[in-house]
Amino acid sequence: MIRIEEVPDPEPAEGEVLVRVEAAGVNRFDVNQRKGGASSFPLILGNPGDAAGTRADTGERVVVTSGKGTYAELTVAAEANVFALPDSVDAALAAALPTPYRVAWWGVVARGELAAGQTLFVQGGSSATGQAAIDIGRWIGASVFATASESKHDRLRELGAEPLAYDDARVPELEADVVWEPLGARTFERSVSALGREGRLVTPGAVGDPTVSFSVWGIVGKRARIEGVAGQASPPESLARLVEALGRGELHPWVERELPLHQAAEAHRLIEAGEVVGRVVVRP
């Protein structure tokens, strides 16, 4: 259950910044918290979370990651997780960036070592991290292929990817340098088949069944590797670089729905039901 209540204003500790929130990104982690993953209740959703707004002390426009309760009008975050936001960037776009783009960058580029001219294959391309991976791959100069249900293929084309059905016969022929695999058992074996020689499969976890099955010879024969990644391992400067690229118009997060805070429950429903292609943002 989500309800709106008045709570005391947060007080920043040493090394933290108080931010007035204009927009907060809704992450799947928020949904998991609401469904019982949080250690205590009640809680302010978006903890940790993404937001865009202004610093209370200087008035500077900023984007925040790992904020404490970003659905609220005021949030606090470690100063290392607060980044200057160019005036040209809308707050909703900025709030949509941090978590999915930071995770995708760390997996696809920092660990997967994707480079210009290589091939990236993205499973679940319509998800938040899937779209971030496509956008980053296009920005780097890679050829990008991505899976999604047919109704979402036009959006993948807009992002710069060649859309594929999950069972497309071309998947084992991709010879991909990097495969982004966030789905789990449903697609994992085909993701391995999509790898080229010395390819890298990176996974941030599994939205579906995490217990996967595949032939180990598919990895050995290709001299490929599989690696698990976590966005928290990404250094702050990586997000700073992504925010700068956003300000130059080189990255294009997609915000499909902006909802007022009193419709936060609807924001969660849309994500759980998979009814959105892109990000959902709430405005306190």
Domain of 215, in residue numbers: 100-232
| Average pLDDT for 37-47 | 60
Question: Which helix (H) or strand (E) is 242 found in, with range?
Answer: helix 236-247
Residue 139, in any domain of the structure: yes
**Both tokens assigned to 147:** 């899976």
pLDDT at 276: 79
Q: How many domains does the chain have?
A: 2
Confidence band (pLDDT; 50, 70, 90) for 240? very high
Task: Kindly tell me if the per-residue pLDDT of 227 is higher than 70.
Answer: yes
User: At 88, which CATH number?
Assistant: 3.90.180.10
Strands 279-283 vs 16-25: parallel, antiparallel or unpaired: antiparallel
Phi/psi zone of residue 116: left (φ > 0), alpha (ψ -120 to 50 degrees), beta?
A: beta
DSSP code at position 67: E
- Asked if residue 120 and residue 215 are part of one domain, the reply reads yes
Give the three-state DSSP class for 257. Answer: strand
Residue 3, in any domain of the structure: no
- Asked if residue 110 and residue 78 are part of one domain, the reply reads no
pTM: predicted TM-score of the whole model, two decimal places:
0.91
**Both tokens assigned to 250:** 């080189």
Which pLDDT tens digit goes with each residue over 188-211?
Answer: 999 999 999 999 999 999 988 999
Which pLDDT tens digit goes with each residue over 70-128?
Answer: 999 999 999 999 999 999 999 999 999 999 999 999 999 999 999 999 999 999 999 88
> What percentage of residues in the chain have a pLDDT greater than 90?
73
- For residues 272 and 156, give the distance between their C-alpha atoms in angstroms, rounded to a whole number: 20
- Is 56 buried (19+), middle (13-18) or exposed (0-12) by CB count in 10 A? middle
Which has the closest alpha carbon to 172: 215, 131, 129, 210?
Answer: 215
